[in-house]
Amino acid sequence: MSVATAIAALELFLGDRLTCAEAVRAQHGRDEAHHAPRPPDAVAWAETSEEVSRILGICAEHGCPVVPFGVGTSLEGQIIPAQGGLSLDLSRMNRVLAVNADDLDAVVQPGVTRMALNAALRETGLFFPVDPGADATLGGMAATRASGTNAVRYGTMRENVLALEVVLADGRVIRTGSRARKSASGYDLTRLFVGSEGTLGVITELTLRLFGQPEAISAAVCAFPDIDSAVRTVIETIQMGVPVARIELLDEVQIRGVNAYSGTAMAETPTLFLEFHGTEAGVAEQAGQVAALAQAHGGAGFDWATRPEDRTRLWDARHKAYWAGKALRPGAQGWVTDACVPISRLAECIAETKADLAESPLIAPLVGHVGDGNFHLAILLDPEVEAERAEAQRLSARIAERALRMGGTVSGEHGVGFGKIGYLRAEHGEAWEVMGAIKRALDPQGILNPGKIVPSN
């Protein structure tokens, strides 16, 4: 077994679509968060499912690790080659293969980004709703079970992937699911691969659920005196069944960063960002219901944005929250983490987290997809100062342990990679061992993204 022998064989097969250049290897050895980079031994670009199959067959023959790569926007080290080997870049597999407007679905290759898909759909009156913020590839979004700001209404990648084509560790190509909207036929392998982070197979094609573009969209921001008031408004909105499309919470620290970074002038208090989709009458009714709830909980103002350019500006400020937060401490790195709890425990979970932060020397802006109980911290630190790294690790661990204590999960969105693997036994118990058994059955050599999610073989 030899990585070098595998790379030599791959070079014969791929020619100049395989490289060992240091700069390219470095680019494929890091993600967007705090994890230490680790370059692969080589990078290969595949352009077809058949090529992916051949590449995996060669790597299996020689025991060479393979880590799928999209655009590198993961946050828990998913695309970092923990054991070296090959980074398999799928960005050139970027075609929209079919749009079935009558059936509200599309078939795409894994390197298509969410923004590219929506651009291709613009004339059809349809759109793909999953929006994690970054312009990630759809293959990567499926592999990490991405969600984002629209999940409260439209669901996550788990709900919006109908079928997959996947190449297994030995090079076999399988299809999971179909374009039918439901099935009672066999194991749900599609859901097995969604969220598997490249540890069970390489996704080479996706069939995705689409939605009609809403007739009317309106957005609003509303400031609150404290976190509890904002979260109580969210809970009551969900309990009343108001079909709000997006409902996001930014704490006072994050708002301060947004004002400085984006040139806005919002009150520096906990603030909800909301968006409503539907008919003109439906949107007005939804907004009126939520405005009344917000007012009852001390919400100040309910500033509307109905013109597309105003909505774009509002959500652009929200999507740049990570960089805005980092601007609060120029030169700092963000130790990004997330957790998700039952919505009834969200205010309590955030309050305990804020109490920890009040006693910490580090700044950590908070953003929450609060409609589904999910929130994020970007803990700002100097990675060269060991005491700060230790403090960031302590805060992150406290959040994970708190989420589990409250009946939640250590990650509602960012995934596991190797950043959260240490908490999986506590969260899943014996089910984690079952995950390991599935991994060994599908990848007996352990060549697919080793060191992620489950124990190494």
Q: Tell me the per-residue pLDDT of 98-139, one tens digit each, with 9 for 90 and over.
A: 999 999 999 999 999 999 999 999 999 999 999 998 899 999
Tell me how many degrees the CA angle 75-424-159 measures, rounded to the nearest 5.
Answer: 65
What is the pLDDT averaged over residues 199-228? Answer: 95
Residue 457: pLDDT band (50, 70, 90) is low
Residue 158's H or E segment, with its range, is: helix 157-160
Task: Look at 318-332, 341-355, 389-403, 432-446 and tell me which has the smallest mean pLDDT.
Answer: 318-332
pLDDT digits (tens, 9 = 90+) for 388-445: 999 999 999 999 999 999 999 999 999 999 889 999 999 999 999 999 999 999 999 9
What pLDDT does residue 307 have?
A: 79
Rounded mean pLDDT of the chain? 94
Report the topology of domain 3-91: 3.30.43
Which among 59, 39, 58, 55 has a CA at the least distance from the CA of 47? Answer: 55
Checking if the pLDDT of 344 tops 80, the result is: yes
What pLDDT does residue 1 have?
A: 63
Residue 291: pLDDT band (50, 70, 90) is very high
* Residue in this structure with the two tokens 């589990």, named with its chain if needed: 404
Distance, in Å, from the CA atom of 108 to the CA atom of 121, rounded to the nearest integer, reads 12
What pLDDT does residue 445 have?
A: 96
Share of the chain above pLDDT 90, in %: 86
pLDDT digits (tens, 9 = 90+) for 64-105: 999 999 999 999 999 999 999 999 999 999 999 999 999 999
State the CATH architecture for 96-212: 2-Layer Sandwich (3.30)
* Residue in this structure with the two tokens 């490249």, named with its chain if needed: 198
pLDDT digits (tens, 9 = 90+) for 357-382: 999 999 999 999 999 999 999 999 99
Distance, in Å, from the CA atom of 302 to the CA atom of 286, rounded to the nearest integer, reads 13
Task: Look at 293-297, 430-434, 453-457 and tell me which has the smallest mean pLDDT.
Answer: 453-457
CATH 3.30.465.10 residue spans of the chain: 96-212
Residue 306: pLDDT band (50, 70, 90) is confident
Q: Does domain 214-414 have CATH number 3.90.700.10?
A: no
* Residue in this structure with the two tokens 């999910």, named with its chain if needed: 374
CATH 3.40.462.40 residue spans of the chain: 214-414
Checking if the pLDDT of 265 tops 90, the result is: no
What pLDDT does residue 138 have?
A: 98
Residue 316: pLDDT band (50, 70, 90) is confident
Which residues fall within 8 angstroms of residue 11, CB to CB, at 6 or more apart? 18
What is the pLDDT averaged over residues 325-344? Answer: 93
Residue 153: pLDDT band (50, 70, 90) is very high
Long-range own/partner contacts, residues 260-264 (CB < 8 A, 24 or more apart): 260/324, 260/327, 260/328, 261/320, 261/323, 261/324, 261/327, 262/316, 262/317, 262/320, 262/324, 264/317
Distance, in Å, from the CA atom of 398 to the CA atom of 392, rounded to the nearest integer, reads 10
* Residue in this structure with the two tokens 């060994």, named with its chain if needed: 440
Residue 456: pLDDT band (50, 70, 90) is low
Q: Are 382 and 400 in contact (CB under 8 A)?
A: no
What is the pLDDT averaged over residues 259-274? Answer: 92
Which among 433, 416, 417 has a CA at the least distance from the CA of 425? Answer: 433
What is the pLDDT averaged over residues 193-199? Answer: 98
Residue 314: pLDDT band (50, 70, 90) is confident
Residue 301: pLDDT band (50, 70, 90) is confident
